Amino acid sequence: MADATASKPGATWLRDPVRISQLLFPVALLILWQLLAFALGDFFVASPLASLRALAEGAGSWLGANAGVTLFALVYGYGLAVVIGVVVGFLLGLSRFAHAVFEPVVVALYALPKVALYPLFLFAFGLTVSSQAWFAMFFGVFPIIIFTMNGTRNVGSVFLKVGRSLRLSRPQLFRSIVFPAILPSLAAGLRIGFGVTFLGVILSQMFAAKSGLGFVLVQSVELHDMPTMYGLVLLLTLFAFLVNGAFLLWERRLTRNHPEKSDAF
Amino acid sequence: MSEAARVRLARWAVILAAVAALEVIPRSGLGDAITLIPLSEIIPEFFELLVEGEFTPHLVATGGAFVLAFLLAAATGIPLGFLLWRYRLLRRTLDPYLTTYYAIPIFAFYPLLLAVLGFNILPVVVISWAWAVVAVILNTAIGLGEVPEVLVKVGRSLSLSRWKVLSRIFFPAAVPYVFTGLKLGMIYALIGVIASEFVLSTRGLGYLVSYNYVNFSTAAMYSAMFLILFLAILLNWTLSAIERRLYAHG
C-alpha cells in the first residue's frame, strides 16, 4: 500500500511525508541512544560512537571468528528448518484429513516456550555447533510448516482442474501451477522462520557455548564491557532487520503478481 | 463416525503416541541411560519435588514476572495501539518497523538490561514486556481498523458524540481482536520470562531447568521442563477456548 509512490522517480518520494518520517525514525532512535548515554554515563550506556569503535576494534580480532560461528550455525539451522519445514508442510497440506489433525498440534508447538528444552539438544549433540543448529531448527521449523501447509491447502482446485485439462504431467503441474500458488505463503513462512531460527541461534549461544556472538554478548556482561555489548546488540539488530527487509521485498514482489494472496505478518 | 470425530480421534492418537515415545525411547537403549529417563520415572520425581515445595519459590518468581510483564504489556499496548490506529502518519511511518519487530532477536538486549538494571526481576520483566507489547499494539490497531463502516454510519446517524462512537461502537467491535492481541501477549510474556530465566538469572522455572542441567540432576531437570510445558499448554488451551467463544459471539 505504501508502495504506490515507489515507482515514481526518487525526487517525488523524498517529498512523501511518510517516507521522510520513516527515514527519520532510526535517526531519532540514534539520538535517543546518544542522549541516554549522556544522561546515564558510560557505566550503563555506551555511546553509539564507542560501540562502533568496539566493533571496529573487534573486526581485527574476536569479531570475525565469532560472527563466523554464529553465521555457520544460522545457515546450518535454517537449512534444516527449510528442508524439514517445506517437506513436512507440503505433505501435511496435501491431505485435508492430515491438515485437520496436525494443524492445531503444530500451532500449539509453535507457541510453547521451547527454549527450556535446549538441554535435550546438548545431550544429543554435546557442546557443538550442531546442537545450536538443531535447536534453532526446532524454533524455525514450525512457522515454515504452518505456512507451507496452509499454502498447499489453499491451492485453488480451479487451477488444478485447468492444469489437468491442459494434460500437464505431474512434474509440470507442480512446477507451473502448485509451486507458484504456494510460493507467496511459503515466502512468509520462510521470512518468519528465519527470524525465529536466528533467535534460536543467539539464545543457544547465550546459554552454553564457547564461541559465537551470543557467547561474546554474555561474556561482555561478566566483563562489564559495555561498548562491545551495545555494539553487538546493534550488529545483531541491524542484521536481522536487513535480512527481514530483503525477505519482505521478495514477498511483496510475489504478492504483487498474486494480489488475492496477501498474507499479513 | 463423523469427519470431526475422526479428526479428533486421530489427533489424540498422535498425542498419545508422542507421550508413549517418551517412555519407550529411553527404555529402548537407543540413547544414553543417564540423559534419557523414561516418563514413568520422571513423574514420581515431579510429584516429590512438587510436594516438597522445591518448585514453589521458582513458581512464584516466574508467575510474578509473567503477571507483571503481561499487565504492563496490556496497559501500554492497548493505548499505543489506539494511537497507532488514530494517527495515520504514525501508523504508516512505523509499519515497516513493526512488521520487522519480531525478526529482531530481542533477547540480545537481555544482557544489556542485566548490566543496567542488575540481577533481579526487572530485566526479566522488561524483556518479556518488550517481547509481548508489540503483539498487543498491532492487534489493537488492526481490530480498531477492521470495525465495519456500517456500524460507524449507524453511530453517526444517531449523532453520537465522538467519545460515544468510540466507547459504544469501536471498542466493543474491536474486542475479539484486542483479545487475540492479549492472548499473544500472554504467550509471548511467558516465553520471555522462561527464556530470560533459562539463559541467565538466579531464580524461576527457566533457571531451575538450567540449574539442574548444570548440576547433572537430570530427573529434576525433566520435572522442571514438564512443569513449564504443562503450564504453557494449560495457558494456551484456556486462552484459545475463550477466544473461540468471543469470535463465535462477535
**pLDDT > 90: what percent of chain B?**
60
Question: Looking at per-residue confidence, does B57 or A18 come out higher?
Answer: B57
Please give the grid coordinates belonging to residue B106. 530481542
Condensed to tens digits (0 to 9), the pLDDT of residues B189-234 reads 999 999 999 998 889 999 999 999 999 889 999 999 999 999 999 9
How confident is residue A172, by pLDDT bands cut at 50, 70 and 90? confident
Torsion-angle region of B99 (φ positive above 0: left; ψ -120 to 50: alpha; else: beta) = alpha
How confident is residue B76, by pLDDT bands cut at 50, 70 and 90? very high
- Report the residue of chain B nearest A190, measured CA to CA: B103
Q: What are phi and psi of A179, to 5 degrees?
A: -60, -50
Instruction: Reply yes or no on whether the pLDDT at A191 is more than 80.
Output: yes
C-alpha distance across the termini of chain A, in Å: 14
SS3 call for B53:
coil
Q: Is A236 on the interface with B (CB under 8 A)?
A: yes
Q: Is A242 on the interface with B (CB under 8 A)?
A: no
**Chain B: nearest CA to A235, how far in angstroms?**
10
**pLDDT > 70: what percent of chain B?**
98
Residue B109: its H or E element: helix B109-117
User: Inter-chain contact B116–A45, Cβ cutoff 8 Å?
Assistant: yes
Same domain for B23 and B145?
no
How confident is residue A3, by pLDDT bands cut at 50, 70 and 90? very low
pLDDT of B216 reads 87
pLDDT of A258 reads 55
Condensed to tens digits (0 to 9), the pLDDT of residues B36-62 reads 888 888 999 999 999 999 899 999 999
Distances in whole angstroms, Cα of residue A87 to Cα of each of A120, A139, A150, A173, B127: 24, 16, 13, 17, 34
Same domain for B15 and B59?
no
Q: Is B1 on the interface with A (CB under 8 A)?
A: no
Q: Is A39 on the interface with B (CB under 8 A)?
A: no
Same domain for B91 and B188?
yes
User: Inter-chain contact A118–B198, Cβ cutoff 8 Å?
Assistant: yes
pLDDT of A12 reads 66
Q: Which amino acid is at A191?
A: R
Same domain for B96 and B48?
yes
B114-124 mean pLDDT: 90
Same domain for B213 and B195?
yes
Contacts of A18 (CB under 8 A, 6+ apart): A2, B89, B92, B93
User: Comparing A9-18, B7-16, B170-179, which segment has the lowest mean pLDDT?
Assistant: A9-18
Instruction: Choose, out of A78, A199, A230, the residue to mutate when testing the contact with B (most B CBs < 10 Å).
Output: A199
> Could you tell me which CATH number the domain at A63-255 has?
1.10.3720.10
User: Inter-chain contact A112–B206, Cβ cutoff 8 Å?
Assistant: no
Measured CA to CA, the distance from residue A36 to residue B116 in angstroms comes to: 12
Same domain for B105 and B213?
yes
Residue A78 in contact with residue A193, Cβ under 8 Å?
yes
- Return residues 74-113 of B near A (CB < 8 Å): 89, 92-97, 99-100, 102-112
ipTM over 0.85: yes
B198 closest CB neighbour out of A115, A218, A241: A115
Average pLDDT score, chain A = 87
Same domain for B93 and B106?
yes
pLDDT of B62 reads 96
Condensed to tens digits (0 to 9), the pLDDT of residues B132-171 reads 999 999 999 999 988 888 888 888 888 888 888 888 888 8
- Give B-chain residues touching A240 at CB under 8 angstroms: 100, 103-105
CATH at B61: 1.10.3720.10
Same domain for B10 and B121?
no
How confident is residue A9, by pLDDT bands cut at 50, 70 and 90? low
pLDDT of A265 reads 36
A25-30 mean pLDDT: 94
Domain that holds residue B69: 39-249
How confident is residue A261, by pLDDT bands cut at 50, 70 and 90? very low
Same domain for B46 and B24?
no
- Return residues 131-170 of A near B (CB < 8 Å): none
Measured CA to CA, the distance from residue A85 to residue A67 in angstroms comes to: 26
User: Inter-chain contact B108–A237, Cβ cutoff 8 Å?
Assistant: yes
Question: Looking at per-residue confidence, does A176 or A139 come out higher?
Answer: A139
- Give B-chain residues touching A224 at CB under 8 angstroms: 115
- Return residues 113-152 of B near A (CB < 8 Å): 114-116, 138
pLDDT of A257 reads 63
Condensed to tens digits (0 to 9), the pLDDT of residues A62-73 reads 999 999 999 999
**For chain A, what is the total number of helices (H) and then of strands (E)?**
12, 0
Contacts of A106 (CB under 8 A, 6+ apart): A92, A142, A145, A146, A149
Instruction: Reply yes or no on whether the pLDDT at A159 is more than 90.
Output: no
Q: How many domains would you assign to chain B?
A: 2
